[in-house]
Amino acid sequence: MENRILGHNLFLNEKINVMQWQPRHLERMARELKIFQPVILEANPSLLARLAWWAWDEGQELFSPAAIILTFEFPSQSHLAAIRRVFAAPLISSFGSTETGFVLMQCEAGLFHQNVNFCRIDFHPLTARHGGPDLGRILVSTFNNPWAAILRFDVGDLIRLHPTGQCVCGRNEGLLAEAVEGRVANATFTTRGDLVTTMALDTLLARIPEIRDYHLEQHSRTQFELQLILTGSSAGVLDRTRQALESLYGQDGDFTLTVVSDLLPGPSGKFRRTQAKFDFDQKGLFV
């Protein structure tokens, strides 16, 4: 434990690849949480969900900090549900990138607020066919950065604007977003060619509680392959999942569903839940 403490921070996991996590690693994390009792727990949601699933399955209690800040990747609703099931702490999502730092922070009302003292945001909407004008990408310019002050970073994520721009929390400066819906590069498409965000699929699959995790690849306009991690029996789950996919992507889609024991993250440690395996014109999606 002392080898993973830096100042007032404790780094819980020494292995970013969850495929290397053994029960002893999860037991140690639970034990050290109880010993260290952090005020704030900052976590990659997919990693924290693994700890939450283990605690739920094993009947283990986990120490709850004052708040949990989720960062690094798109938080799947199935992961959020698992975390909420074993932690009493409120969940706060933060959004940013290596190039821009923290750009948006979620408030107690669940909306995302611009870090107005740190950056400027320009919003670039999608065409109406693909979800615009309230859904689009953001271009970020950072302040007080002498080598990047004139640059606008395309961070690659799709943001849904709040329709009124007013939040009940009272913080109404800058851009106000309802959600970060996933990366442009991870977009998939209906059989008619309309854009589907990662969040759109994630919201649909979250209605099937037996699904713990998933990865969808679209090989052509009509061919889809979905890998699933399930809890309990798969009886009836695959039929319900196929019906959900047809309702989102189209009745003429060809859907291959496979139950797997685990899913690998990418080289960076992030999970890429949706991906079109064919080239598409990203610029042509925007106004």
Q: 7-21, 108-122, 195-209: lowest mean pLDDT where?
A: 7-21
Query: Structure tokens of 146?
Result: 């002498």
Q: What is the CATH number of domain 187-285?
A: 3.30.300.30
pLDDT at 269 over 80: no
Mean pLDDT within 231-242: 91
**In the prediction, which pLDDT does 278 show?**
96
Percent of the chain with pLDDT strictly greater than 90: 83
pLDDT at 93 over 90: yes
Asked if 64 and 91 touch (Cβ cutoff 8 Å), the reply is no
Mean pLDDT within 71-96: 94
pLDDT at 178 over 80: yes
Asked if 124 and 165 touch (Cβ cutoff 8 Å), the reply is no
Residues 17-47 pLDDT 10s: 787 889 999 999 999 999 999 999 999 999 9
Give the span between the Cα atoms of 97 and 118, in whole angstroms.
Answer: 13
List, by residue range, all CATH 3.30.300.30 domains of the chain. 187-285
> What confidence tier does 150 reach under pLDDT thresholds 50, 70, 90?
confident
Please give the model's pTM, rounded to 2 decimal places.
0.92
pLDDT at 267 over 90: no
Averaged pLDDT score across all residues of the chain: 93
Give the span between the Cα atoms of 279 and 64, in whole angstroms.
Answer: 44
Asked if 228 and 214 touch (Cβ cutoff 8 Å), the reply is yes
Give the span between the Cα atoms of 144 and 192, in whole angstroms.
Answer: 45
pLDDT at 148 over 70: no
| CB-CB neighbours of 7 under 10 Å | 5
**In the prediction, which pLDDT does 106 show?**
96
**In the prediction, which pLDDT does 147 show?**
67
